[in-house]
């Protein structure tokens, strides 16, 4: 008869639980619409518009929008209304906390204006849904030239 040792069983159970939680805790963003554009306003200014639409049958919360810090800095972006951004070194973004509930079919536009760059610049706009750092979508944007 073979005997099995149960060494490290608590740590194995904890690992399995944590892994399962991480894999199943992500917010489903498949029924959400995301878009981000940069428009030349023709007077030396640009406007970044980040749009999220809830296409699901339940309410979702737009927790925040993160913008690549290099893009943000190069275009000297600032919100037309709403909160000021905060630098997050962990992912090198400027983060705007929105916390806006979106009912089914509802959209939200977040607008920033800045100065047109003399060079080509690109970066990501990240949409964080339901305050879930794993439930986000990135949308690439580029500008100028």
Q: What is the pLDDT of residue 56?
A: 93
Binned at pLDDT 50, 70 and 90, residue 5 comes out as: very low
Q: CA quadruple 130, 131, 132, 133: dihedral positive or negative? A: positive
Domains and CATH numbers, the chain: 30-143 (2.60.40.1170)
- pLDDT more than 90, % of the chain: 70
Among the listed residues 46, 12, 48, 26, the one whose alpha carbon sits nearest the alpha carbon of residue 137? 26
Six token digits for residue 120: 């080509």
Instruction: Tell me the whole-structure pTM to 2 decimals.
Output: 0.78
Q: What pLDDT was estimated at residue 145? A: 75
Span of 18-22, 41-45, 98-102, 130-134 with lowest mean pLDDT? 18-22
Q: Mean pLDDT over residues 15-27, rounded?
A: 42
Q: What is the pLDDT of residue 27?
A: 65
Instruction: Check whether 91 has a pLDDT greater than 70.
Output: yes
Judge whether 77 and 112 are in contact, CB under 8 Å.
yes
Q: pLDDT tens digits for 39-59? A: 999 999 999 999 999 999 999
> pLDDT tens digits for 9-18?
444 444 443 3
């Amino acid at each position: 008869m073979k005997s099995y040792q149960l060494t490290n069983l608590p740590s194995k159970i904890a690992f399995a639980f944590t892994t399962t939680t991480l894999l199943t805790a992500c917010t489903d963003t498949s029924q959400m619409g995301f878009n981000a554009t940069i428009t030349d306003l023709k007077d030396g200014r640009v406007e970044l518009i980040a749009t999220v639409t809830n296409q699901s049958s339940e309410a979702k919360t737009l927790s925040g929008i993160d913008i690549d810090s290099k893009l943000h800095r190069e275009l000297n972006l600032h919100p037309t209304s709403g909160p000021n951004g905060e630098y997050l070194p962990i992912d090198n973004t400027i983060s705007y906390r929105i916390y806006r509930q979106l009912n089914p079919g509802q959209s939200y536009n977040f607008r920033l204006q800045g100065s047109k760059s003399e060079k080509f610049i690109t970066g990501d706009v990240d949409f964080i849904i339901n305050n879930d750092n794993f439930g986000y979508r990135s949308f690439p944007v580029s500008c100028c030239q």
